[in-house]
Amino acid sequence: MITKKNIKIMLVNMILIVILTSSLGCGNNSKVSTEISSDASVNSDVAIQYMSIIKEYQKFADDLTNNMKSDFNNEINDDDLNHIWFSMRSEIGSYRNFAMNKESFGYALKDLNRDSNPELILLMKDYTMLAIFSTVDGKPKLLDSFWPRHRCALNNSNLLYTESTGGVDYWEYEILQISQDGSELLPLLQFGCEDGFYKIIDREKYNISQLEMEEFLIKYPILSDTTACDITKNSGIEFIPLNN
Alpha helix (H) ranges present in the chain?
A: 4-44, 51-65, 84-92, 210-219, 225-233
- Tell me the domain boundaries of the chain: 1-47, 50-241
CA dist., res. 65 & res. 237, Å (int)? 25
**pLDDT, tens digit, for every residue of 49-87?**
898 888 888 888 888 887 755 554 554 445 555 577 777
Q: Which of 22-36, 59-73, 189-203 has the lowest mean pLDDT?
A: 22-36
Which residues are registered as beta bridge partners of 135? 140
Quickly state the pLDDT bin for 123 (edges 50, 70, 90): very high
Q: Could you tell me if 170 and 182 are in contact, meaning their C-beta atoms sit under 8 angstroms apart?
A: no
Question: Is the separation of the CB atoms in 242 and 57 below 8 Å?
Answer: yes
Q: In whole numbers, what is the pLDDT of the chain averaged over residues?
A: 77
Distances (CA, A) of 161 to 22, 62, 71: 46, 29, 27
Q: What is the pLDDT of residue 203?
A: 86
Residues 137-170 have pLDDT tens digits of 888 999 999 988 899 999 999 999 999 998 777 8
Q: What do you get for the CA distance between the two ends of the chain, in Å? A: 72
